[in-house]
Chain A
Amino acid sequence: MIESNQLVNKATSQLSYTLQIADNALIMGHRLSEWCGHGPILEQDIALTNIALDHLGQARSLYQYAAEQFNALPAAEKEKFFVSPALQSIIATGKAMDEDDMAYLRDGWDFRNVLLVEQPNKDWAYTVVRSLCYDAFNFFFYTALQKSNDETLAAIAEKSLKEVTYHLRWSSEWAIRLGDGTEESNKRIKEAVTDRWQYTGELYTMNATDKAMQEAGIGTNLDDIKAKWQERINAVMSEAGLDIPSTGWMQHGGKEGRHTEHLGYILAELQFMQRAYPNMEW
C-alpha cells in the first residue's frame, strides 16, 4: 500500500513537472505572438513570430505528454489534481483529457508557469530582457533535461534545445545592441533590467516538485542551472555595458499557481474561443 502511494505521488509530481515546463512554453509563446504585426521592423516581427511558434510547438508536445500522464492517474487523483471547473466537468464525464483541454480549459491557479513569462511586452527593451532571462534559463535547463530518465521529456528537450539555441542568440544580440546603442536605448534597457530582475529568481528556485523530480532522476538540479545562468547573463550584460542589479527581493508563486494579474488577461484572450464555442475547430 505504501509502495503504491509512492507510485501515485511520483506520477502526480511528474505531471506537475511536465506542466511547469509546458506552461512556461505556452505563456512565453503567447506573449511573443502579441508582437505579430507590431514589430519595429518586418524582419524582427517575423523573428518573434518564429520564436513564438517554436514555444507553441514545444508546448504542444509537452501538453500531449501531460494529457497522457493525467489519463493514466487513478480516478481519485484525477478529481484532486485540477481545480478548474471546466476540467472538473470533463473529468466527471470520464472522457480522456487532450492537449487542447490542458491549454484552453484550465484557469489561472492551475497554471504553473513562472511569473517572468507572463509579464507584459511593454516595449522592445522589456521584451528583449524577458527573453534573454528566460532563453538563458531554457538553454541550460533543456541541455540538462536531455539526460532525464523520463524518455519523453528527454526527447522533447533534445528537440527543443536546437530551437532554444537560436532564441538565446537572438535575445543576447538584442540586449547588447540596446545596451551598447543610443542613449535612449541604453536608458530603456536599464529600466527593463531593473524592473524584470525581481522575476528571475523563481526560474532556478527549487519547489517541492523540482526536488522530487530531481531525486527521481527525472528533473534537473536548478542550483547548477543558476550558476550557468548567472555566468551567461553576466557575460551578455558586461558586453552590453549594463550592471547586474544588486539582488533584492525575488518574486515567487507562479509555479504554485499564484500569479500576477497579467495571467488572467492572457488566458481571457487565449481561451475565449474554446470557452465561448466549446470544441470548435478551424
Chain B
Amino acid sequence: MQHDISEADIYQWLSVVTDPEVPVLTILDLGIVRNVAVSKNEAGEKEATITITPTYSGCPAMDVIAINIRMALLSRGIKHVIIENQLSPAWTTDWMSEEGKRKLQEYGIVPPRRRSENKLGLFEEDIVNCPRCGSAETLLVSQFGATSCKALYKCNSCHEPFEHFKCH
C-alpha cells in the first residue's frame, strides 16, 4: 500500500482542482502550477511542495485555490502540504493549455488566442468572434470584466453580451 508517491501522481490529483471563478478550468489548464516536489519531512512523513503563481496580483481566487490544493492532497493522505507563491516569471495566458482554451470556448468565454509577447495581444486589437453566433462584428465594451482576467464584449449581430479571457 505504501508505495512511493511520484510527482506525476500529484499532478494527477491536482487535475481535479478548479478555478472557483471559472469552474470549467482546472489549475493545470490555467498554467498556474509551476512546480511540484515530493519529499519527506524530519519526522519521515510525506510532504508535497506545490509552487503556484497568481494570474493577477489581487486575484481573490488564489486563496481559495490554495485551500483546495490542500484539501485535494489531504484526501490522498498527504497531510503536509507547502504552498509556495512565485511571482517571477509572471503568469501569462501563453501557459493556458489547448484543452483549457477549448473548454473556455464551450463555456461561452472566448479564450485568449494570441501569444502575449505581442503588444497588440495585450491590448485586444484583434477580432474577437462571438462565442454564440460566430460573428466577427463585435465590440469591446470594457477591458475590465466580472473578474480580473476577463474583458466585456458585445456582439453586434446577435446582440448578446459575452466575455473574453484577456491575453496577458
Contact = CB atoms under 8 A, between A and B. Distances in A.
Nearest to B143: A166
Contacts of A154: 88
Interface in B14-72: 54, 56-60
B152 A43 contact: yes
A262 interface: no
Contact of B145 (A46, A56, A61, A155): A46
A236 to B, nearest CB: 16
A46 B161 CA distance: 15
Best-buried of A50, A51, A56, A154 by chain B (most CB within 10 Å): A50
A44 B57 contact: no
Contact of B143 (A57, A60, A160, A170): A170
B155 to A, nearest CB: 16
A159 B88 contact: yes
Contacts of A49: 144
Nearest to B152: A43
Contacts of B122: 162, 165-166
Contacts of A57: 54, 56-59
Contacts of A155: 87-88, 90
A43 B58 contact: no
Contacts of B95: none
A32 B100 CA distance: 33
Interface string A47-71: 1011101111110110000000000
B90 A158 contact: yes
Contacts, number: 71
A169 B124 CA distance: 12
A169 B59 contact: no
Interface residues on A, range: 20 to 34
B89 interface: yes
Interface string A190-219: 000000000000000000000000000000
Nearest to B151: A166
A156 interface: yes
A163 interface: yes
B99 to A, nearest CB: 24
Interface in B123-158: 123, 141-146, 148, 152
Chain B's interface: helix, strand, loop or mixed, by majority? Answer: loop
B144 A50 contact: yes
A101 B122 CA distance: 35
A46 B144 contact: yes
Best-buried of B54, B56, B123 by chain A (most CB within 10 Å): B56
A55 B57 CA distance: 8
Given A158-B87, A159-B88, A56 B58 contact: yes
A56 B122 CA distance: 22
A160 B123 CA distance: 16
B53 to A, nearest CB: 9
B164 interface: no
B101 interface: no
A165 B142 CA distance: 15
B143 A159 contact: no
B16 to A, nearest CB: 26
A4 B122 CA distance: 46
Counting from the closest, the 4 A-B pairs by CB-CB distance are A57-B58, A57-B57, A155-B88, A53-B58
Interface of B: 54, 56-60, 87-91, 122-123, 141-146, 148, 152, 168
Given A46-B145, A47-B144, A158-B87, 10 more contacts: A50-B144, A53-B58, A54-B56, A60-B57, A61-B87, A151-B88, A161-B90, A163-B57, A163-B148, A169-B123
23 contacts: A43-B141, A43-B144, A44-B142, A47-B143, A50-B145, A50-B148, A53-B148, A55-B58, A56-B58, A57-B54, A57-B58, A58-B57, A58-B58, A158-B90, A159-B57, A159-B88, A162-B90, A163-B148, A166-B143, A169-B123, A169-B143, A170-B143, A170-B144
